[in-house]
A and B are shown apart, each in its own frame.
Chain A
Amino acid sequence: MKTKLIATLIALMAVSQAALSQNVNWKSLRQDQHNLLQLNVGYDYGFTTQLGYARTITMLRPAMVGLDFSIPMGNDLLDDFKVRLGGQIEVLEFNGFSVTVRIASVFRKYQSSLVSVVGFGSDFAIVTGYYAPTWSIGGEFGFDKAITTRFKHSAQMKAKFPDIKDGWYVPTGGHYYYGVQGGKTLGETLDLNLRIGATSAQFHDQNAMIPYYLQLGLGARF
């Protein structure tokens, strides 16, 4: 059982090695612009700030790989954070209409007075829309899975429940997400981006307290 779970996890993370999380307008990327730096703020299971970097790679279709790092607000900056490593590839394009597939590995950390949590997961999405050289609009549909999570409980938690088990739990959760996104270029190198949407817990699971997301960002192409 454990061997199958490890193998599944490795396969999922292997698939995720070539994807990315930034909003990309393929039409606005010039030939000499291979790098994309983005700063986003918004709501993503917390009021978050995200910094991301991506780079184009040579493939049959336009593609980028990269990573982003996001933290929620709070006094303790690094007790909670999320890192996504992945990429995206434009699989279809016709007269400005485009379909992009986006995949990422996700690493999450959460800490409170009761528990320290680290988790691995994956994020898969399809983005489709219309992309012009100076603006874009589209919709996205994705699935964010928390595959395996380690819970390490504090002394306070163990005093409450001495038999509580620390360890890696598989699986622990997942959300579908769907929304719209748009962008506008500013000059030759900058883009303003907006993503807004809703989340829905997998299967019949209870939804998040605030089942929405919002991301406003500024990107620089160079």
Chain B
Amino acid sequence: MKNFTLFVFTMAVVAATFSSCDILDPNEHGQLVPKTVDEDPSLPSISVNGTMLHAETFGNPNNPMIVVLHGGPGGDYRGMLKCSKFSEDGFFVVFYDQRGSGLSKRHSKDTYYSEKIFIDDLDAVIKYYRRPGQKVILMGLSWGAMLATGYVNSYPSEISGVVMMEPGGFIWRDAEAFIARQRSVDVMAENINDLLYLDQIITSSDHILLDYKMGLMGASENSEGNKLGNAGPTPTWRSGAVVNAAAFDIVRRRPFDFTTNLSQYRTKVLFAYGELDVAYGKAHAELVSSAYPNVQLVEIKGCGHEIPYEGFDTIYPIAKAYLDTIK
């Protein structure tokens, strides 16, 4: 009798709890993550190379163009918006969320056949905005800097300058080593829970829940004691979980090498790394940057991996001086 009473009481509590709440569908658009450009026509976008990209520009379209490339794959450009300041210095600054990232249109995993699709998309973006004779400079963070180099490796004569901030590596072996150091963890640490414990609560094959979960898991990158030297969270809109997973699948099947043609690129490039990123460090910066024949290597003091956000005030004058030599 006592057991039955307890059972009924428990069920009553459960019923009261849920009857007072709205039950939400996790696959409904716009509830857990923002809508993408194909779901929300009010967002600025361009249609290129069979996709729809969240994109915006700053400055005079006739000025030398800087194309800003975010990290990931699967990040977005929200944390790089301080770079729009270069539009005040006589540059036309173009931002876009890469395919399947940020607020750009999502695609199925089998869309990503090789890293070439990212290079092709970048080529399409450049062609979309470029005016005849206009100089183009690529400015990338992390994976974005790797993408920039992949583009330069394919089209060295098209690019007038490159600003790179902590590219993981231009050969998969080097990038893999950086990722391994970045992810080396104390298994007893709290941020491990942030990363792993969520897996039992959220599973999905849908972009919405996968992107939401990736965004939550990303909190561990900025938690106390993180190896990247990040002081805290960087503004983002939405993670691209599928493109991130696809990119790693691609590289495991066929490791990339973006250096095969780099010796032809004699233009000076600016290569920056953060003082506080212990996973990166000077040795890795020297190793990775050595693929370019002409490099200006700088350490950004007091900053970790997120140089365009946390270290912008420091890198801005350095980058401006470099960019002015290209104008």
Residues of the B chain whose Cβ atoms lie less than 8 Å from the Cβ of A203: 205
Asked if A13 and B11 make an inter-chain contact with CB atoms under 8 angstroms apart, the answer reads: yes
* Bound form: Cα–Cα A44–B24 in Å: 28
* Bound form: Cα–Cα A168–B26 in Å: 9
Tell me how far the C-beta of B34 lies from the nearest C-beta in chain A, rounded to whole angstroms: 6
A98 on the interface (CB 8 Å rule)?
no
Residues of the A chain whose Cβ atoms lie less than 8 Å from the Cβ of B236: 160
Contact residues, B35-64 vs A (CB, 8 A): none
* Bound form: Cα–Cα A175–B34 in Å: 27
B283 on the interface (CB 8 Å rule)?
no
B201 on the interface (CB 8 Å rule)?
yes
Contact residues, A134-153 vs B (CB, 8 A): 144, 146, 148-151
B233 on the interface (CB 8 Å rule)?
yes
Asked if B196 and A209 make an inter-chain contact with CB atoms under 8 angstroms apart, the answer reads: yes
B281 on the interface (CB 8 Å rule)?
no
Task: Report B173-209 CB contacts with A as 1/0, cut-off 8 Å.
Answer: 0000000000000011110111111111111110001
Residues of the A chain whose Cβ atoms lie less than 8 Å from the Cβ of B33: 161, 164
* Bound form: Cα–Cα A110–B198 in Å: 7
Interface size on B, residues (CB 8 A): 51
B219 on the interface (CB 8 Å rule)?
yes
Interface size class of chain A, counting residues whose CB lies under 8 Å from the partner chain: 35 or more
Residues of the A chain whose Cβ atoms lie less than 8 Å from the Cβ of B220: 112
* Bound form: Cα–Cα A19–B202 in Å: 24
Question: Which of B34, B201, B204, B219 lies in contact with A161, CB distance below 8 A?
Answer: B34
Contacts A10-B14, A164-B32, A205-B204 known; A73 to B209 CB distance under 8 Å?
A: no
* Bound form: Cα–Cα A210–B21 in Å: 33
Contacts A46-B192, A46-B197, A161-B33 known; A205 to B203 CB distance under 8 Å?
A: yes
B157 on the interface (CB 8 Å rule)?
no
* Bound form: Cα–Cα A5–B21 in Å: 12
Task: Report B291-323 CB contacts with A as 1/0, cut-off 8 Å.
Answer: 000000000000000000000000000000000
Residues of the B chain whose Cβ atoms lie less than 8 Å from the Cβ of A204: 205
B23 on the interface (CB 8 Å rule)?
yes
B235 on the interface (CB 8 Å rule)?
yes
B110 on the interface (CB 8 Å rule)?
no
Residues of the B chain whose Cβ atoms lie less than 8 Å from the Cβ of A6: 15, 18-19
Asked if B210 and A206 make an inter-chain contact with CB atoms under 8 angstroms apart, the answer reads: yes
Residues of the B chain whose Cβ atoms lie less than 8 Å from the Cβ of A169: 23-26, 32
A186 on the interface (CB 8 Å rule)?
no
B216 on the interface (CB 8 Å rule)?
yes
Binds B, one of A24-32, A89-97, A113-121, A125-133: A113-121
B237 on the interface (CB 8 Å rule)?
yes
Task: Report A79-114 CB contacts with B as 1/0, cut-off 8 Å.
Answer: 110100000000000000000000000001010111
* Bound form: Cα–Cα A45–B195 in Å: 9
B22 on the interface (CB 8 Å rule)?
yes
Asked if B196 and A146 make an inter-chain contact with CB atoms under 8 angstroms apart, the answer reads: no
Contacts A45-B197, A163-B34 known; A76 to B190 CB distance under 8 Å?
A: yes
Asked if A173 and B192 make an inter-chain contact with CB atoms under 8 angstroms apart, the answer reads: no
* Bound form: Cα–Cα A110–B199 in Å: 11
Asked if B237 and A149 make an inter-chain contact with CB atoms under 8 angstroms apart, the answer reads: no
Question: Which of B11, B195, B196 has the most chain A CB atoms closer than 10 A to its own CB?
Answer: B196
Q: Which residue from chain A places its CB closest to the CB of B189 in the assembled complex?
A: A74
Asked if B192 and A167 make an inter-chain contact with CB atoms under 8 angstroms apart, the answer reads: no
Question: Which of B31, B201, B204 lies in contact with A117, CB distance below 8 A?
Answer: B201
Question: Which of B18, B190, B192, B198 lies in contact with A148, CB distance below 8 A?
Answer: B18
Asked if A173 and B203 make an inter-chain contact with CB atoms under 8 angstroms apart, the answer reads: yes
Q: Which residue from chain B places its CB closest to the CB of A168 in the assembled complex?
A: B21
**Chain A interface residues toward B at CB < 8 A:** 1-2, 5-6, 9-10, 13-14, 17, 44-47, 72-76, 79-80, 82, 108, 110, 112-115, 117, 119-120, 144, 146, 148-151, 156, 160-161, 163-165, 167-175, 201-206, 208-210
- A and B contact pairs by CB, cutoff 8 A, 25 listed: A1-B23, A2-B23, A10-B11, A13-B10, A45-B197, A45-B198, A75-B189, A79-B193, A110-B201, A112-B194, A112-B216, A113-B233, A144-B200, A148-B18, A156-B233, A160-B235, A163-B30, A164-B33, A169-B26, A170-B23, A170-B26, A172-B201, A201-B203, A208-B196, A209-B199
Query: Assuming A148-B23, A164-B33, A203-B205, what are 18 further A-B pairs, CB within 8 angstroms?
Result: A17-B10, A45-B196, A45-B197, A45-B199, A47-B187, A74-B192, A113-B223, A115-B216, A149-B202, A167-B21, A167-B22, A168-B22, A169-B24, A172-B203, A204-B205, A205-B203, A208-B200, A208-B203
